[in-house]
Amino acid sequence: MALVPELPAVPAAALPSDAQVLDVREDDEWEAGHLAGALHIPLAQVPQRLAELPAGQLHVVCRGGGRSQRAAEWLQGHGYDTVNVEGGMGAWAASGGAMVSENGREPEVI
């Protein structure tokens, strides 16, 4: 059995400003608040939507870090360069990170 390298991770507050972010939360979570410029593909749809992923390293985020960990590990196992965003959008918001919403309201993490 081949060894899978340990998944890299970065605390949400230390997310690089130029990171390519893949948000794997559900539609209602995304609409309430997300990082500007992030790509949204709900976790269950990731395997069917690989063609939409940009080249290069992907920072994967969800609400708290669990779903993004699973997505990042799965993607890494399929040859993608992924980093899990520890603490997810909850930690990002708590650190004062900027967000946008799609629902016309003040961005929030739900």
3-state secondary structure of 1: coil
3-state helix, strand, coil in the chain (%, to 5): 35, 20, 45
13 among known catalytic residues: no
E strand residue ranges, the chain:
9-11, 20-23, 39-40, 58-61, 82-86
- Which residue among the candidates 62, 83, 89, 93 is catalytic per the annotation? 62
Which residues are annotated as catalytic? Answer: 62
